[in-house]
Amino acid sequence: MAPQAAAPGTTVHTALCRHEMSQFLQAAQGQEPLLVACTQEEALFTSAADHADPPAYAPLRFVNLRETAGWSSEGAESGAKMRALLAVADLPAADPVPSITYTSEGRLLLVGPASRVVPVAQRAQRRYGDLEISALITVPDADLPLSPGVAWLSGSDVHIKGHLGKYIVQWQQSNAIDLELCTRCNACAAACPSGAINSLLQVQINLCDRSGACEVACEQLGAIRFDRANEQRDHVADLIIDMGDVALVNAHDKPPGYRHVTDVVDGMDAVADLHEWIGSFEKPRYFTYEASLCAHGRNNTVGCSNCIDVCSTEAISSLLVNGKGRVEVNPNLCMGCGACSTVCPSGAMRYAYPTAEHASRTLRTAIHTAVDAGMKAPELLLHSEDANVGGTALINRLGQLAAAKRAKGLPARVIPLGQHHIAAAGPELWLAALAYGASRVALLLSGEEAPSYRAALQQQINWVQAVIEALGGEPDRVMLIEADTPESLDAALQACAKRPAWVMERATFAVGKDKRHALEAALAHLMSHTQPDATRQVAALPAVLPAGAPLGGLNINTDACTLCLSCVGACPQSALKDGGDKPLLSLLERDCVQCGLCVETCPENALSLAPRLSDLAQRRTEHTLHESKPFQCVRCSKPFATEAVMKAMLARVGGHAAFSGDAIKRLSMCSDCRVIDMMEKAQ
């Protein structure tokens, strides 16, 4: 890397990991955390510190400046970016979160045709003595071995649920011979007068004469019973290798401890991989969930199901109890992508690894440090932190190509920031980054993401871009970059037009636990402190947003609305309000999450969603949607309903025979006067 990229007064090491190692060891003698700006030789530095004499006690942290900044055609101008990356790396670690524990005892189950399962099971049994191996044969297309050591099972219609350490496998026992009990003595085959039992230990029903000779021959073991056909069986396993043509687990992202392979070679590789999953393992509990904020369901009506739809591990399910809807997350299946929190309009589902507050501090630190160091228009490139297949791997390979003059590399204005998963940061953080002073926020999709994530991110970006356009900005200030090779990433970055700084005053607010407040703070700052781009102008508000945006209000057909106020009871955010003693319906737009529960609940179909961006005053002021005059009792003049309700009721039941004569008048009376009128008429 070019030494001139370092800040003035900084000591530049040119071979710190080799003949300057003594300087690293000297720095590592202290108690304070030591930041090393190299990830290539992380193992070397760690080993040197572990074996140092005297011992090196400083906690070590590492950050990559080489591929992300120095190895670029603009490496000499990357000093401000380096400062930003160092500042981010020097931030305190995120607060710890509760953990989920898996315990695996090495109970391995192979499922599939005998031709695939048998050789893998036999080799695994010989090679890995600490595995307890079972094999469920679904297609009897190969001879079964006589050797012991594997628990053989057979059946069809197999279903798998559960997780590492506790997989539950259920199937139908379609073979009359229970392979788990069978000792392969072949007495049944010898006794069968019709030759219906083959070498695969399957009873061929079309040849069987049901003489019962085989059952008599196996009487002591009881391995043959014709009444067990189609019997439901189950089995518990810690690890599963599924060798069928079609995976038995449908989720796009498979749970740990499960592998789907279709040939013997891959099967043995899967055994070697799963062999490492014996013992106890912990992972973070990636999410928090607040049911009181959830817009999933009310009054036995389902509204928002965004988190269920986007989850690639099928960890989230719907739960309706006493008419109220909520969701349930299986933490053992959750992989921590964070997409559920990104698409959640209310903030009921929150990402906890790290929290939004920690993520916003990272964004703010990177942007403010870069600007203070002289970068005029910093851009953020958010990517998944996976050194093997994710954005980190792409960026590293791009840097290596740039060092060899075969690519341009990351521009000096582009600051890469890794996340546990690209779907973990949502619109409130993207808009907050613009408010902090970023000229662009780009999300890198590197090709391995589930289709549901890609679709969800695109939908979120669509409405965020509509907001930006309404405020006079170029829509590509928040954008997706799709690249699965370093060359395509290089081309995409070079094709991005440079954007000047958009905000005139950098925001300093923190994104806290409340997603809606964070979104409101970002919108408020952008509305007040941005200037239109050269070819743009600020739109007249309210501006229409795409369907699915979590901002907006409601359209109401006042002729159809009876002010029954069912919508008020259905609103999970209390954005809809009644008028107390007055027949009135009002809306506080700031609190509306566009979940649609009110629309689904309305018995008159009088409501429809209106996704839009309104000005701050309209968003923060309660507005009347509909108001009606009270209907007064025709006998005592006491108000007891609205004119709209009475009009609708009389129209529906007025022609019925039960309400002929004086009875129709009683419909226009309050409950007390109806009783009095009935008693008077009865005398």
pLDDT of residue 586: 96
Q: Write the pLDDT tens digit of every residue in 540-562.
A: 999 999 999 999 999 999 988 88
Of 55-64, 71-80, 519-528, 653-662, give the lowest mean pLDDT range.
653-662
Q: How many CA atoms lie within 13 A of 200 on its CB side?
A: 16
Q: How many CA atoms lie within 13 A of 411 on its CB side?
A: 18
pLDDT of residue 657: 65
Q: How far apart are CA 433 and CA 366, in angstroms?
A: 10
CA angle 363, 611, 549 (to 5 degrees): 35
Q: Is 11 a residue whose pLDDT tops 80?
A: no
Q: Is 565 left (phi over 0), alpha (psi -120 to 50) or beta?
A: left
Q: Write the pLDDT tens digit of every residue in 80-93.
A: 999 999 999 999 98
Q: Write the pLDDT tens digit of every residue in 493-543.
A: 999 999 999 999 999 998 988 999 999 999 999 999 999 999 899 999 999
Q: Write the pLDDT tens digit of every residue in 472-489.
A: 999 999 999 999 999 999
Q: Write the pLDDT tens digit of every residue in 183-199.
A: 888 888 888 998 888 77
Instruction: Give Dmax over CA atoms of the chain in angstroms.
Output: 114
Q: Is 229 a residue whose pLDDT tops 90?
A: no
- The number of residues making up the chain comes to 683
Q: Find, among 68, 60, 90, 1, the residue nearest to 392 by Cα.
A: 68
Q: Is 285 a residue whose pLDDT tops 60?
A: yes
pLDDT of residue 683: 66
Contact 312, 253 (CB under 8 A): yes
Q: Is 280 a residue whose pLDDT tops 70?
A: yes
Residues pairing with 442 in the sheet: 381, 479
Q: Write the pLDDT tens digit of every residue in 423-456.
A: 999 999 999 999 999 999 999 999 889 999 999 9
Give the pLDDT band of residue 6 (cuts 50, 70, 90): low
Q: Would you say the C-alpha torsion 671, 672, 677, 680 has a positive or negative sign?
A: positive
Which residue pairs from 650-659 have beta carbons closer than 8 angstroms and sit at least 24 positions apart in sequence? none
Q: Write the pLDDT tens digit of every residue in 158-191.
A: 999 999 999 999 999 877 888 778 888 888 888 8
Q: Write the pLDDT tens digit of every residue in 624-650.
A: 999 888 777 888 888 877 777 777 777
Of 227-241, 338-352, 403-417, give the lowest mean pLDDT range.
227-241
The mean pLDDT value of the chain amounts to 90
Q: Is 5 a residue whose pLDDT tops 60?
A: no
Residues pairing with 530 in the sheet: 503
Q: Is 535 left (phi over 0), alpha (psi -120 to 50) or beta?
A: alpha
Q: Find, among 108, 138, 139, the residue nearest to 121 by Cα.
A: 108
Q: Is 662 a residue whose pLDDT tops 80?
A: no
586's CB contacts (< 8 A; 6+ apart) are 576, 577, 578, 579, 622, 623, 624, 625
pLDDT of residue 676: 83
pLDDT more than 90, % of the chain: 67
Find the mean pLDDT for residues 355-376: 95
pLDDT of residue 1: 64
Give the pLDDT band of residue 212 (cuts 50, 70, 90): confident
Q: Return the amino acid letter for 673.
A: C
Domains recognised in the chain with CATH numbers: 3-62 (no CATH), 102-174+230-281 (3.50.50.60), 285-340 (3.30.70), 355-539 (no CATH), 544-627 (3.30.70.3270), 632-682 (no CATH)
Q: How far apart are CA 529 and CA 391, in angstroms?
A: 32
Q: How far apart are CA 669 and CA 655, in angstroms?
A: 18
**Any idea which residue has 């005297």 for tokens?**
54
Distinct helix (H) and strand (E) counts, the chain: 21, 30
pLDDT of residue 3: 52
DSSP code string of 169-238: EEEEE-SSB-TTT-----HHHHH-TT--B-TTS-B-TTT-----HHHHHTTTTT-B-GGGTTEEEEEEES
Q: Which residue has the higher pLDDT, 663 or 300?
A: 300
